[in-house]
Amino acid sequence: MTQATGELTPVEKRARVAAIQGFVRAREEAFDDACTFFAKAATLDPHLDLTTIPHFWNLPRGGQQAAIDAYDLAGREREAAMLIARVRKTFRPKLIASKPHEPAPIT
- What was the pLDDT predicted at 50? 95
Domain-located, residue 107: no
Whether the model clears a pTM of 0.85, i.e. scores above it, the answer is no
Domain-located, residue 102: no
Q: By residue range, what is the domain housing residue 15?
A: 10-91
End-to-end CA distance of the chain: 78
Domain-located, residue 96: no
For residues 68-79, give the mean pLDDT.
96
Q: How many domains does the chain have?
A: 1
Residues 83, 54: Cα–Cα separation, whole Å: 16
Domain-located, residue 5: no
Is residue 5 pLDDT above 80, yes or no? no
Q: How far is CA 65 from CA 10, 17, 87, 95, in A?
A: 27, 19, 9, 24
Model confidence pLDDT, tens digit, residues 49-73: 999 999 999 999 999 999 999 999 9
Domain-located, residue 3: no
Model confidence pLDDT, tens digit, residues 20-46: 999 999 999 999 999 999 999 999 999
